[in-house]
Structure 1
Amino acid sequence: MVQPLRIALAGLGTVGAGVIRLLDTNASLIAARAGRPIEVVAVCARDRSKDRGVDLSRYIWEDDMTALAARDDVDVVVELVGGSDGSALTLARRALGNGRGLVTANKAMMAHHGMELAAAAEEARVALKFEAAVAGGIPVIKGLREGAAANAVLRIYGILNGTCNYILSTMEDTGRDFGDVLKEAQALGYAEADPTFDIEGVDAAHKLALLASIAFDSRVDFSAMEVEGISRIRAADIAQAAALGYVIRLIGLADCDGGLFQRVQPCLVPRDHPLASVDGPTNAVVLEGNFCGRLLFQGAGAGDGPTASAVVADLIDIARGDAGPPFSMPVAALQPLERAGSGHRLARSYLRFTVADRPGVLAEISAAMRDAGVSIESLIQQGRPEENGEVLVVMVTHEGPESAVTRALELLDGSPSLTEAPLVMRLLG
């Protein structure tokens, strides 16, 4: 008789319950494709009495999460607790240290401790899988590790946070402002009660750090990430972008030109670009390889079904005997790439200034652009008499080094004409 792959499941929230439902619903199909059954042996969560819509009476319940990692009847621990440190990291370390495989959906833990955990998995000769940590049910890590394995990746970029994408595309469709749409996203469950990690770009940055490591055979370096969120974007920015033929999306982008460059930032995306049509709580990742060209991975970036699908896909790989290096290459072979600066990068930029409505302000801004060597492609001035006479001044620059835009803003820093800090977004090209 074929020995089943025995798993312990830590965390019985939306995704954990989804994993159990998927294993139940597709049990025969999964066993056929894995070459053996996959069975849950033990579980752990904070509240034993909560109704999760699945039958948990079949499983051993451990009140101490770390006990899952020490059970002799467990081959793989599935960590769905979340958090970069604390109990999730303790469980991961103990599981690998005890020779158990580990499957996790925890992008924060992998972004901050991925190298340590990968080294532990290699030393123990067990699997460490984290497909569900990036873009939910989209098999983008498998696409990088397997489908595009023969390619030198030129760059990888995309929409990596469904909450931000829902907010931006809803602002685009309705003309409503950020705060109003954020409240709606929270009411619908697309945004957390504390949405900071999502709207300030941190969640997307965690995912981008993992993709960049696999794409460029480099060590995960979250500290080198440039991160900016969407909380300062107004309905007026959405409207101006539309008038110019663009939509605004939060884009995570990484390349390896002169060092490792990693940035999460709202960008203006041309309407004919594949990412422009991605709306709602959807994720999409574009991979550009030197032989495969442009590949687009798109689908649901969160939710019980898609994320559970990614978790179980990892379990199927482990059941088949796939325990290769978690980041495609052994940790010792991953390069600690130098952080690439952004000043030399060529880009067109969208700049929005909120200024006092008085003579000479536009001349002051234009002079700063001139002195910094920034060439202005277009300029729009929009009055807002309902808000104390403030005026929005929007500029789009010709292509030039980002350092020139930075210098222009330094020249304007402290100017009494500016009523708030300028907003800068790059045009995706």
Structure 2
Amino acid sequence: MENRKKVAFYTLGCKLNFSETSTIARSFTDEGFDRVEFDEVADIYVINTCSVTENADKQFKQIVKKAQKKNDKAFVAAVGCYAQLKPEELASVDGVDLVLGATEKFKITDYINDLTKNEMGQVHSCEISEADFYVGSYSIGDRTRAFLKVQDGCDYKCTYCTIPLARGISRSDTMDNVLKNAAEIAKQDIKEIVLTGVNIGDYGKGEFGNKKHEHTFLELVQALDKVEGIERLRISSIEPNLLKNETIDFVSKSRTFVPHFHIPLQSGSNDILKKMKRRYLRELYVERVSKIREVMPDCCIGVDVIVGFPGETDEKFLETYNFLNDLDISYLHVFTYSERDNTEAIEMDAVVPMNVRNKRSKMLRGLSVKKRRAFYESQLGKEKTVLFESENKEGYIHGFTENYVKVKTPWNPELVNTLHQIKLTTIDADGIVRLEFL
């Protein structure tokens, strides 16, 4: 058994990447490899890359160095979005042996029969038009929750985004396969499943880019709600134009879906939304938030927003700031616009200087802290259910309520991966809520 090869993984980016890393890792285990942590000595290091933020590009080189420090003879493979968009760039990084694009990453074990280090990274990447088949995946990293991929790719043409170039057309898993994966996860004593994809509200488009929807997102949600053994289901992120009132109504009454939505806005200025080629205006966003509040007053609503997009004047930024300030939402994920090759936005005039982008980002992050605090305060004194996580953080165990309030109580290993009825009592100095058991 001493001869078994060891493989380690590092994932950059989104929940979807984490679910895919898990699937790739299982294919290695099936081939007789032992999985180890990334900071351990391994024979192969696989890095799942991301192309969404400028930072992810820089991080890649640091991660390769980290792997080489552990074992300078190890075989290093790069997969994922950045590997699809800029394979030659990754292949030229010192120490990288193999770069696999969007369709090849799930067949990685076919490419590594020979673990000899290469002078130059070998590239196997398809034309993105060939990424027209679907590979289902789910991650089981920690014991409490799993990310379940239901959809991949995107047919939207937002002017700042490279994801359609990195992941191809919108395509979905079959309903049967999603339900089979959900049942497999449930058997492993995992209490919460987070649905993930690139554009999950577009769920149902056939496997080969068939534009006809076999099933709708609402039908998927209704079917998943019946899977035995799952305590909680969470929708990760869904476009406002694809989040229908019927889905909101269903979630409000469902057995397992929790009152938490993450809905990308990107800008509170209609002019900027049009320049971004988003498929809605701010008025629709207000309607969605109002509908959610009407049927789920305690719902947690998270918002993605991009600052510093070309043409975002001070006035247009303030439009966004004031729009979000007035909106009954719970927190923000703030992204600073960064130029991406092969996008329309990179050709646009009225570029916002980086120092202004950073200042705006800081303002919105400050607003997010204020919003989260107000949301947490609105929940004090209420009775909720908490799912405890597995880490001991400075003598405390943390968890999340169904509506995504972060809570803590003194560390007790028996609480790990268990659900409890609690009452939210006070907010600590670190912004986390304390609780009492009911």
Structure number with the higher helix fraction is: 1
Q: Normalising by structure 2, report the TM-score.
A: 0.30
Q: Normalising by structure 1, report the TM-score.
A: 0.30
Q: Which has the higher contact order (CA 8 A, sep 6+)?
A: 1
**Bigger radius of gyration:** 1
